[in-house]
Structure 1
Amino acid sequence: MLYSSLAVLASFLVSQAAAHGGVTSYVIGGTNYVGWSPYNSPTGQTSIERPYSTYDPILSPTASTISCNNNGQAGPNQLSATVPAGTSITAKWTQWTHAQGPVMVYMTKCSGSCTSNNSNNLQWSGVWGTGEVQKSLQYTTTIPAALAAGEYLIRHELLALHQANTPQFYPECTQLTITGGGGKTPSGSYLVKFPGAYSMSDPGVNINIYTAEAANTFTYTVPGPAVWNGQ
């Protein structure tokens, strides 16, 4: 898991939605939070998840929407979940069709109120796991108990590698207010920005998993920074 700023026409839309996926809810400390509904009208929607408009992939690691699958801004009725440090968080998908690729989870500490922060301006720090998501439609991680209290974004990203040398990025973000914790924050080599964290030359991004070389390779380099362990 990567942590940061400290330290992933109607008929046309239906067919596109059926092909991919996005985070649609969260379970945090046993409480269920409804996520954003990208194919419903944004009017009246309230969620801890930041708005996004489609289940379609982002095809460039340098796209302006790579941070949170939106324009970087909070929603007009943005909420945040209050969570003690050390709590587990489960992101849930209603559909996911690709089994090849990593799941990446990042966090970033906001400057002041998260709602006023553009996710493209923050620094982020964060398992070959898309097959797990395909089977269970969920992925669970734990917020480090040592993390300093404050307002954060958490970012879940699926990187689908089923098309040779054509990576597909699926990131979504949600807002958290972390309480308690050990007052620690990652820095230095654990920090990245989106866009900027990945490039097409990264071995974990520009990869053809169907080659003979790939069949005889037993390690995969997940793109992004080193993982902060809370120390």
Structure 2
Amino acid sequence: MFIASLAVLSSFLVSQAVAHGGVTTYVIGGERTTYPGWQPYNTPTGQKSIGRPYSVSLTYFSKISCNNNGQASAGQLSATVAAGTAITAKWSQWTHAEGPVTVYMAKCSGSCSSNSSNSLKWFKIAETGLISGTLGKGSWGNGEIMKTLSYTTNIPASLAAGEYLIRHELLALHQANTPQFYPECAQLIVTGGGGKTPSGSYLVSLPGAFSMSDPGVNVNIYAADAQTITTYKVPGPAVWNGQ
């Protein structure tokens, strides 16, 4: 019975991974350089990716940094990218239009492969929340992901060279007061740059940057007032502009 239950659970998780999708590819500098993302529905044995291992979705915070225990994979790779270069995450599919997209980075101490993502300090480099309309009937960052299955941002041109984790998160708000987090991380080696790093309120811990009671997390898009509210604050710190 226990073995059968595990088999059913495994099948469910695979179906959820396929249904919601994940970052299948990271594209650096247009289409010139591509790297495979992590494949959570395949065996980890033999996988070589710049993506950190991850599961499917999270409704709790203990693994919110990279959707795993904080570790690199056995076949972990890192992508070299010049500061100021565009990086695009591509998803296999995405099915939830309501909610924000955020991109964070964290500087590693030495090699990122020896760093736990849970112990790093993170800063936000991009976000797309409520674009237009109301909380209940508006256009969201997640809706844009559904159209293109991709999200592009630039590594800050002034960022100091070094090894970093980059973290893309889709926060799905389609279930009332039951937010679903889909964070994924990848390893980068940033070159060039202007030697700057964020400080103060731009730096946060994950977990720690927000909670389930955060007004940007605990959202009921079906409530009566949500049909008229036209403002939304994306959870977490302000976006670091490179200054």
Q: Note whether the superposition's TM-score is higher than 0.5.
A: yes
Residue type of the alignment partner of 1:89: I
SS at match of 1:193: coil
Q: Which residue of 1 aligns with 2:188?
A: 176
Q: Which residue of 2 aligns with 1:115?
A: 113
The CA distance in 2 between the partners of 1:186 and 1:147, in whole Å, is: 9
The CA distance in 1 between the partners of 2:38 and 2:70, in whole Å, is: 15
Residue type of the alignment partner of 2:41: Y
Q: How many residues align?
A: 219
How far apart are 1:82 and its partner, in Å?
0.5
In structure 1, list runs of 5 or more residues that go unmatched: 1-8
SS at match of 2:212: coil
The CA distance in 2 between the partners of 1:111 and 1:58, in whole Å, is: 27
How far apart are 1:201 and its partner, in Å?
1.4
Moved more, 128-137 or 138-147: 128-137
Q: Which residue of 2 aligns with 1:51?
A: 53
Taking only the aligned residue pairs, the percentage that are identical comes to 74
SS at match of 1:169: strand
Does 2:241 match 1:229? yes
Q: Which residue of 1 aligns with 2:37?
A: 35
Using CA pairs under 8 Å that are at least 6 residues apart, name the structure with larger relative contact order, 1 or 2: 1
Does 2:162 match 1:150? yes
How far apart are 1:138 and its partner, in Å?
0.6
- Give 1:206's match in structure 2, choosing from 208, 211, 218: 218
How far apart are 1:175 and its partner, in Å?
0.3
The CA distance in 1 between the partners of 2:110 and 2:14, in whole Å, is: 38
TM-score (norm 1): 0.92
How far apart are 1:229 and its partner, in Å?
0.4
How far apart are 1:11 and its partner, in Å?
4.0
Residue type of the alignment partner of 1:37: Q
Does 2:164 match 1:166? no
Residues 200/12 of structure 1: CA separation in 2 closer, same or farther (3 Å cut): closer
How far apart are 1:20 and its partner, in Å?
1.8
Residue type of the alignment partner of 1:59: T
Residue type of the alignment partner of 1:227: V
The CA distance in 2 between the partners of 1:65 and 1:213, in whole Å, is: 32
How far apart are 1:135 and its partner, in Å?
1.4
Moved more, 23-32 or 76-85: 23-32
The CA distance in 2 between the partners of 1:24 and 1:122, in whole Å, is: 24
SS at match of 1:45: coil
Deviations 1:91-133 (A, max 9, x none): 0110111000000000010011111000000010111211111
CA contact (8 A) 2:17 2:40 kept: no
How far apart are 1:25 and its partner, in Å?
1.1
Deviations 1:3-26 (A, max 9, x none): xxxxxx364344322432221210
SS at match of 1:132: helix
How far apart are 1:227 and its partner, in Å?
1.2
TM-score (norm 2): 0.87
Q: Which residue of 1 aligns with 2:137?
A: none
Q: Which residue of 1 aligns with 2:16?
A: 16
RMSD, aligned α-carbons? 1.1
The CA distance in 1 between the partners of 2:13 and 2:207, in whole Å, is: 26
How far apart are 1:134 and its partner, in Å?
1.1
Moved more, 21-30 or 154-163: 21-30
Q: Which residue of 2 aligns with 1:4?
A: none
Please identify the structure whose Cα radius of gyration is greater.
Answer: 2
SS at match of 1:131: helix
The CA distance in 1 between the partners of 2:179 and 2:98, in whole Å, is: 11
The CA distance in 2 between the partners of 1:185 and 1:149, in whole Å, is: 9
Equivalent residues in 2 for 1:55-94, closer than 5 Å: 55=56, 57-60=57-60, 63-94=61-92
The CA distance in 2 between the partners of 1:140 and 1:131, in whole Å, is: 15
SS at match of 2:210: coil
